[in-house]
Amino acid sequence: MIALVLGALLALGWVLAPPPPHAPAPALPRRARRAGAGPLEMAHLVEQLATVISSGAGPRQAWAALGRSLPEGELQDLARAAATGADLRRAAGERLRRTEMVSSLSTALAVCERTGAPTAMMLQHLAEALRDLHDAAQARRTAFAGPRSTARILLVLPAAGLGLGMLLGGDPLRLLLTSGAGNLLGLAGLALTGLGWWWMRRLIHRADPPRRRRVDPSVQLELIAGALDSGLPLSRAAAAVGHALPAGDEATALQRVSAALEAGVPAALAGRALPTELDSLARSAVLAEGTGSDLSRVLRSAARDARRGRAREAEVLAAQLAVRLVLPTGLALLPAFVALGIIPTVLSLLGGTLALTPGTG
């Protein structure tokens, strides 16, 4: 009975524990604790870098100034390494390297170097984008906190059936372990619990998949808009961003679109190579082909709208997930609750009339 109570308390603690952040920082001893490098801190760093560069300093001078002013931590190490000309992706610490923030900053600086785009303006827009992405991620986490907690509580339901049976005076655990019928009920209950766990996990991952560590598509639009500000046509602006991005599908798609536009392929046809997240770029290419207008403002508006729409999208997906969790609950976890808790409890209270105990008649 004591072991059951301890197990129930551990399960309750697991259920009520808040979900961990997507990129938790390792705990450090108090005397070795260093300044963190979250999205808001990175946005502030990018904004400071833009301010120093706008005053007339070169990139290395600006990084050196930041290295002297920043508190001790990952960002200070990054600034000092960048002041020596080191590649940001390699100079970043292990935890910071696993995020998209350093890749976004490195890509922005590479685009400015390739195109001659105004660095201070590009970095200012990047800082705003990082803040928007942080807000969208927080809104998404908040929206999915309810369904995730509900799933945790429901997964404890079959085990709670055993505890309920013991509180009612029965001995369902003994019946499950010592009789043939109990063994069958136990196996069925465990199988249904495993099915419910797998089903819920699959639903949650489909609704809220882990984020890929890449340069966000909305940031890519911001970078293309910045390259357009330097006077480049859309084809060359897309090529510059495609070559500056880390190797991957997005970089390849932008390079293909750029090559197609340079070769005279109609924009409507060339834009088919772009992923869904860059549909606004495909539409802008068609608009530019027909009018020759400056599309930097259009692309920036599309990027902001994409980031702002993520909070609403997360709310919709979380509401749909809450409804879909009814299926594994009704078809797997509730039957497991009955198999592990209700039926063994009733049988034990009735004296085990259906248990396979020899010599009873």
Whichever domain contains 90, its CATH number is 1.20.81
d(C-alpha 103, C-alpha 253), whole Å: 18
Q: Percent helix, strand, coil in the chain (nearest 5)?
A: 75, 0, 25
From 135, 159, 187, the end of a domain falls on: 135
For residue 127, count other CB atoms closer than 10 A to its CB. Answer: 22
d(C-alpha 247, C-alpha 264), whole Å: 25
On whether residue 332 sits in a domain, the answer given is: yes
Residue numbers in the chain where pLDDT is lower than 50: 1-6, 8-33, 353-361
Do both 60 and 186 map to the same domain? no
What is the predicted pLDDT for the residue at 125? 92
d(C-alpha 340, C-alpha 336), whole Å: 6
Domain span at residue 191?
Answer: 143-208+313-353
Do both 167 and 126 map to the same domain? no
On whether residue 21 sits in a domain, the answer given is: no
What is the predicted pLDDT for the residue at 21? 45
On whether residue 43 sits in a domain, the answer given is: yes
Do both 116 and 51 map to the same domain? yes
On whether residue 7 sits in a domain, the answer given is: no
Do both 96 and 160 map to the same domain? no
d(C-alpha 178, C-alpha 183), whole Å: 7
Query: What pairs with residue 35 in β-bridges?
Result: 73
d(C-alpha 15, C-alpha 153), whole Å: 6
Number of domains in the chain: 3
Residues 215 and 246: beta-carbon distance below 8 Å: yes
Do both 199 and 339 map to the same domain? yes
What is the predicted pLDDT for the residue at 359? 42
Do both 130 and 155 map to the same domain? no
- Helices and strands (H and E) in the chain: how many: 20, 0
Do both 61 and 198 map to the same domain? no
d(C-alpha 130, C-alpha 107), whole Å: 14
Do both 198 and 345 map to the same domain? yes
What is the predicted pLDDT for the residue at 48? 92
Do both 129 and 271 map to the same domain? no
Do both 159 and 304 map to the same domain? no
- 188-193 long-range contacts (CB < 8 A, ≥24 apart) are 188/335, 188/336, 188/339, 189/158, 189/336, 189/337, 189/339, 189/340, 190/336, 190/340, 192/158, 192/332, 192/333, 192/335, 192/336, 192/339, 193/155, 193/158, 193/332, 193/333, 193/336, 193/340
Instruction: Give Dmax (Cα) for the chain.
Output: 97
Do both 193 and 328 map to the same domain? yes
Do both 197 and 318 map to the same domain? yes
From 308, 326, 342, the end of a domain falls on: 308
On whether residue 12 sits in a domain, the answer given is: no
What is the predicted pLDDT for the residue at 212? 66
What is the predicted pLDDT for the residue at 50? 92
Show the tokens assigned to 157: 């339901």
On whether residue 11 sits in a domain, the answer given is: no
What is the predicted pLDDT for the residue at 121? 92
On whether residue 255 sits in a domain, the answer given is: yes
